[in-house]
Structure 1
Amino acid sequence: MTRRWLLLTAMAAVAFFAANLALSWLLARPAHQPMEQPGPTIVVAMPTLTWDDVSPEYTPTLWSMAQQGAVGNVITRSIAPHSCSQAAWMTMSAGARATWGYPPGQTGSDGIVDPCPYAPRPQQSGAGAVFPRWPAWRQQSMARAIKADIGSMATMLNTRGQCVAAAGPMAAYGAADRSGRVARYWPSAQQADLEACPVTLVDLESTSDLALRQLLNRAPLDATIVVTGLADDKTPERLRTVIVSGPGVPQGMLRSPITRQQGLIQGTDLTGLLVQRVVKDPADVLLEGRQPFVQPETDADASIEHVYGVSKALEKEHQLVAPFFYTYVVVVLIALAVGLLLLRTRGPTGRRWFALLGAWCGAVPVSTFLIGIPPWWNAPSPGIALVGGILGIAVVLAAAALLGPWRTWVAGPAVFLASVTALTIALDVTHSSRLQLISIMGLQPVYGGRYFGMGNVASAMYASTMLFAAALLAGRWVQRGHPRLAALTVAAIGFAAIVVDGHPSWGADAGGPIAMLPALAYLALNAGGIKVTWQRIVVVGGIGLLVVGGLGYLDSLRPPQYRTHIGTFVAGFLESGQTTALQRNVMLNWQMLTSQWVNLFVPVLLVLTMYALMRPTSRVGRPLARVTERVTLLGHGLAAITICWLIGFATNDSGTAIPPSGMLVIAPLVILVAAWQGRSAPKDVLRRQAARRPAETAARQDAPAGSR
């Protein structure tokens, strides 16, 4: 039996690695290249500029730059969801997310944008300008949980002999040094001398292509030109256009070590580009800004199409998040009511109804990722294509679950859907592909702070489905009388899952392994028939901290530009005792929990789930107990999932999203197990049981009457 287990494990590992290699081959791209700046660098802000505004007919200057240089989208969000020009320029001046005053919140469903706060204009001082209150602003900025040393970019350049000039009052916020002084200043772009300083920041205050052409006609021939949208201002939040062109800029798509996505950079990476003029590695001197690179691409139209598609996809899917899920919940509740009615009046029909509903609902979450494979945003009606595609893929997966060879096992369809979900997310994060980035349940990069790796929603789905599948597969070895192999099954699946989730180059997740390891240990101990004690719980918790801490420490040893947020936190803590990231996690989780009244039900949901599992004879626990009795280890699997939710809820920056996200996929799978008709044990176990029954019956018949 051990040989059989080894063979099955080896086959699963080979299949996973083969899928990884095939995907790596399909996604292979040329190595990225650095950008050189042989002459001055001119950064031109055209606030609110998006790729919708760029075309060969209406913006020929921008289009020509895009055809010759590197293109991308810039994430303008800083601390607030909505970005204003003064905060965006201050972010550039700090190389870290900065804010100003009381910025407007996220645009509501009505599309009305609150006004940006008033920003004082600089005072002219000789050939330059000064902000008299800058030292006070800097002190406030450094006192925040998320620190930003405003003025550090200009100070670094100025002290190395490269002054920073500004044209326009908003650009002065980016060109000011730590004292608030701007080396050269002109109130408007028309007055600017583009050769006065090696770096010039220009605020055009419009998206006029004519104004841009008139400005660039005065630029030196060897200048590196950066044109970007930079801020949202009076328009709803979007990814903004960024184009870099010049003699030292390769053709292709911009890429950042922070985002690890083709054609996507942060506003702080523009600081990295400017600081690169005087510092070999901007990561050595900037808190967040990194040196952007170019992913070479010979087809300029393909590059523009890619970055435009990502921008359009993120805009459309964000608009549909709330309507989609509200409608989905209502439809599911109606379907549940219909199912209960059918169950009362026509038992078998009601059971089949619940099996179909469970399979379809269990397939919807992973379908929100898989729909990112085809370019649905290019359809005539992108919203219909997105929603229709999600529902259609879910139908296909549900059919595969119910009709595949695994259908003969009572838990087979549910394990199939759980495995597809976990493997899809695993393959996506190991390749930094776009599925999670643009999913309706994905990273939401316009509003979030993560652009690759394992987001909280994906982490909840990944861990939940992994534990679900591990428990039910291990249960088959328990039924065969091999608890040791059952425990090894959990350990093998769990080890692979933690490596994918916690590896700095893949999932780059700290909270995930912390939550998964105790849950896996609990499940493995029960699968192996070993008693769970407090001593063992403490040991497992210690191992979990060592694993995550070890991964973080190894990540901190890498160069700063290649570290993830885990390595950056560990490095900061070891070097200077910084706990800013930890404080931010606690603050964000509390804000998310209290931001909407419905979020307060998350702890209640956790308590009810734990109560139902701990008290199976109670009114709340009886329905669940009837399901867990059907499949070996299902009860322990659900308990492990609940442990994972509880720890994830407490340790992640947006942990409030973890329990409901996990339940969104696990609840339908439990319904599917409850409704599906099939074998409760493997064939070989049933054959042995059938062979024993005649012998046991004969033995009872031959026994003396007094011994019966």
Structure 2
Amino acid sequence: MAVVAFVVASLAVSALMARPHHRSIGQPGPLVIVAMPTMTWDDISPKATPAVWALAQEGAVGNIVTRAISAHSCSIHAWLTVSAGARATLGKGPGQTGSDRKIEPCNTIPNPQKIGQGARFPGWKKWRTDSLKRPIPAEIGLLATRLRAQGSCVAAVGKGAAIGAADNSGLVARYSPTIETANFTTCPVNLVSFDKIDDDALGTLMTRLPEKTTLVVTGHADDTDQESLRAVIVAGPDTPKGLLRSPSTRQPGLLQNSDLTALALSRSDANPSLLDGRLPAVQPSPNADHSIEQVRDVNQALFDEHRVVNQFFIRYIIAAGFALAAGLAMLWVPTLRTWARRWFVIVGAVCGAVPVSTFLVGLVPWWNTSRPGTVLSLSIIAIAFGLGAIAVLGPWRRWVAGPAVFLAALTASVIAIDVTHGSPLQFTSIMGLQPVFGGRYYGMGNVGYALSASTAILTASLLAGRWILRGQRRLATATIVLIGMTAVVIDGYPSWGADAGGPAALLPAFAYLALNAAGLAVTWKRILYVGGLTVVVVGGLGFLDYLRPPEVRTHLGDFMASLINDGRLTSLQRNVRANWTMLTGVWINMFVPLLLLLVIYVLIARDSRLGRPLAAVTSRVRYLGHGLAAVAICWLLGFLSNDSGTGIPPCGMVVIAPLVVMIAASSGRLTPKDVPLEAASRRRVDAPHADAPPAKPAPAT
């Protein structure tokens, strides 16, 4: 019934999210890319920017991710990214805007030296050398060099655009400092840089363009503004109306700066191979105003949810702390202990429902309200209270672990359905992908992975415990294998989760559960077998992705391509460096390894002062102890194998801890209703408890 319900829900979501077939962007004439830094859809209107608005009514619209290496994007880095088709930087960029709204200044764009009709950057050789030495090398100058090899060229108007138009040696084929002196007929690709949003200058430019020009107008970079997605418009005779899309983001209405490189290269190469950029297309829609409203809403939602993240979780932690303190105070009063247990069940249910509520709130258009941050926070809490009430009052409440299984299974299922349909809920969730500051726009993010993996393992272990109580170890093992295979496929399949580090942690965790459910000992030989199987599965997923065309590969296929073609481990290096930077960048993250060690110690040292409370809970609920041990294995391996693995243990703890508290405080049946108490008691006497400590041997005589 659970499988049928999941499939039906998935098909229903597929039907609701059905979209028209994508159409390509034709370029019958020259391509002109105009950058107006900081431009968002809030800056665009019929009165304020009539020229930009007219283009938006005629062409395809979207938002563009401008982040390069640093948290704050600058025009110089954006143009280097366009030049390389991959994220690139020059020196250390500004950090993320703080709570004081103070923005660090961007690096100044140097003036090129004019040489005949072109120009040259004297320091380009050093820039290129430094860029190629980075963990993920970016080949600045790639755009102009490839087009020149095809007998084409790139012209630039403005010093910023000159950076994007320079070839490997720093030479710009055609350069004009101003629009008035520019000639848009000499090169098929033209880059134009403005210093700010200038609708009048754009209108003047449009009067000088040749016929059949494909015009791209993009917000390009944050520069002097707070970090945000920026507006992008593509208009031309062969560009259909609708939402811009790219395989690099898989989100309707979202491009990256490097996708513009792919668009320019597609003039001579139908499927240009780039590190980051992919050829954009259009999801047709005849209603231009509706498309503009969609991309404006997405930008507003991402901007508002990022502002509320820290405030929401600080207040949530304080409120949860007070709730726990109130429950502990009631425990000290003998006449209130029954109420204290009920209180902990309620608190555990609501707190356990908060993570999934941060995803489900995306179904509510909170960003269209007058106070979006407040409405977002209140909506999350309201959904959490509703789900908590269902968990506590549902028919599963008669089993001590029933409410926890409901919430855990719901969390894992919601994230699974979301991931298999393009991650629209993760995209805008406060516990989601954070696309403005991150590098992932689809698939399984690290926070989503921590929540889904932890709850899937807990669900599998508690359901397997039901079969073990009935003496059905084969069915217990089958339950774990079925849930485990589903979780691994959803997380690792390139068109869904597209996660390499996730399956590497999930497989050993579920294998540990399955071995114990089958009554088999965890030996070094079996550990090696599991390790080999993990390598085969993860490598196989990456190799299958590598076999697909380059333009549709995910980072899994790109990693295999770099390993097979060049012997490079750049993606692995990036993961290690990113995880180390995250671990050491903020002092509180240094406690994550200590948290992991504490969890492992509590699970192993059952007779210790810290371990006894948890041991009392795991001894009551069949197989819960093994489930928590498997969760700890997943956290440890996930911490080591993911680029932001530092966040996995604490995010997993956010959902697991309240569920364990709820189980500990529940007064329901220790065994499910379908398991006869007499038979369960007899089996507990006849066979040692799987979660119980080993019996001490008799003293030698």
Q: TM-score, normalised by structure 2?
A: 0.96
Quick one: structure 1 residues 186 and 483, their matched pair in 2 at CA, closer, same or farther if it must change by over 3 Å?
Answer: same
Q: 1:287 is paired with a residue of what secondary structure?
A: coil
Q: Which amino acid aligns with 2:379?
A: G
Q: Residue 692 of structure 1: CA displacement?
A: 8.6
Q: Residue 196 of structure 1: CA displacement?
A: 2.7
Cα distance in 2 for residues equivalent to 1:338 and 1:482? 42
1:302 to 275, 286, 290: 290
- Alignment correspondent of 1:328: 316
Cα distance in 1 for residues equivalent to 2:19 and 2:674? 48
Q: Residue 222 of structure 1: CA displacement?
A: 0.8
- Alignment correspondent of 2:695: none
Q: Residue 334 of structure 1: CA displacement?
A: 1.1
Q: Which amino acid aligns with 1:263?
A: G
State how many pairs are aligned: 682
Q: Which amino acid aligns with 1:257?
A: P
Cα distance in 2 for residues equivalent to 1:294 and 1:184? 30
Unaligned runs of 5+ in 1: 1-10, 694-708
- Alignment correspondent of 1:337: 325
Q: 2:293 is paired with a residue of what secondary structure?
A: helix
- Alignment correspondent of 2:496: 506
Cα distance in 1 for residues equivalent to 2:680 and 2:144? 82
Q: Which amino acid aligns with 1:233?
A: D
Deviations 1:362-410 (Å, cap 9, x if unpaired)? 0000110111112211111111111011111101100110111111111
Cα distance in 2 for residues equivalent to 1:545 and 1:357? 41
What RMSD, in angstroms, separates the aligned Cα atoms of the two structures?
A: 1.4
- Alignment correspondent of 1:313: 301
Cα distance in 2 for residues equivalent to 1:199 and 1:607? 56
Deviations 1:41-96 (Å, cap 9, x if unpaired)? 11110000011101122111111111111101110011111111111111101111
Cα distance in 2 for residues equivalent to 1:668 and 1:687? 27
In the alignment, structure 1 residue 164 sits paired with structure 2 residue 154: yes
- Alignment correspondent of 2:45: 55
Quick one: structure 1 residues 616 and 451, their matched pair in 2 at CA, closer, same or farther if it must change by over 3 Å?
Answer: same
Q: Which amino acid aligns with 2:285?
A: E
The equivalences for 1:669-688 within 5 A come to 669-686=659-676, 688=678
Q: 2:427 is paired with a residue of what secondary structure?
A: coil
Cα distance in 1 for residues equivalent to 2:682 and 2:431? 51
- Alignment correspondent of 2:107: 117
Q: Which amino acid aligns with 1:291?
A: L
Contact 1:466–1:497 (CA under 8 A) maintained in structure 2: yes
Q: Residue 212 of structure 1: CA displacement?
A: 1.2
Q: 2:428 is paired with a residue of what secondary structure?
A: coil
Cα distance in 2 for residues equivalent to 1:497 and 1:690? 30
Percent identical residues? 58
In the alignment, structure 1 residue 231 sits paired with structure 2 residue 228: no
Deviations 1:387-442 (Å, cap 9, x if unpaired)? 01111110110011011111111111110000110000000010004100110011
The equivalences for 1:681-700 within 5 A come to 681-686=671-676, 688-689=678-679
In the alignment, structure 1 residue 431 sits paired with structure 2 residue 421: yes
Cα distance in 2 for residues equivalent to 1:689 and 1:183? 85
Q: Residue 118 of structure 1: CA displacement?
A: 2.5
Deviations 1:243-300 (Å, cap 9, x if unpaired)? 00000101100101010000011110000000001112112xx222110010111111
Quick one: structure 1 residues 451 and 412, their matched pair in 2 at CA, closer, same or farther if it must change by over 3 Å?
Answer: same
Q: Residue 683 of structure 1: CA displacement?
A: 2.3
- Alignment correspondent of 2:698: none
Q: Residue 177 of structure 1: CA displacement?
A: 1.0
More off after superposition, 13-22 vs 88-97: 13-22
More off after superposition, 203-212 vs 439-448: 203-212
1:132 to 112, 122, 128: 122
Q: 1:371 is paired with a residue of what secondary structure?
A: helix
Q: Residue 688 of structure 1: CA displacement?
A: 4.6
1:67 to 57, 72, 77: 57
1:471 to 461, 468, 472: 461
Unaligned runs of 5+ in 2: 684-701
Q: TM-score, normalised by structure 1?
A: 0.95
Q: 2:511 is paired with a residue of what secondary structure?
A: helix
- Alignment correspondent of 1:548: 538
Q: 2:238 is paired with a residue of what secondary structure?
A: coil
- Alignment correspondent of 2:7: 17
Contact 1:46–1:204 (CA under 8 A) maintained in structure 2: yes
Deviations 1:653-695 (Å, cap 9, x if unpaired)? 00000000000000000001011111111224235549999xx
Deviations 1:522-564 (Å, cap 9, x if unpaired)? 1111122221111111111111111111111111111011111
Contact 2:306–2:434 (CA under 8 A) maintained in structure 1: yes
- Alignment correspondent of 1:274: 264
Q: 2:289 is paired with a residue of what secondary structure?
A: helix
The equivalences for 1:280-679 within 5 A come to 280-283=270-273, 286-345=274-333, 346-679=336-669
Q: 2:232 is paired with a residue of what secondary structure?
A: strand
More off after superposition, 139-148 vs 361-370: 139-148
Q: Which amino acid aligns with 1:557?
A: L
More off after superposition, 150-159 vs 547-556: 150-159
Q: 1:257 is paired with a residue of what secondary structure?
A: coil
Cα distance in 2 for residues equivalent to 1:616 and 1:250? 65
Cα distance in 2 for residues equivalent to 1:98 and 1:190? 30
Deviations 1:628-659 (Å, cap 9, x if unpaired)? 11210000000000000000000100000000
Q: Which amino acid aligns with 2:183?
A: D
Contact 1:189–1:203 (CA under 8 A) maintained in structure 2: no
Contact 2:391–2:404 (CA under 8 A) maintained in structure 1: yes
Q: 2:564 is paired with a residue of what secondary structure?
A: helix
More off after superposition, 512-521 vs 151-160: 151-160
Cα distance in 2 for residues equivalent to 1:685 and 1:66? 64
Contact 2:423–2:443 (CA under 8 A) maintained in structure 1: no
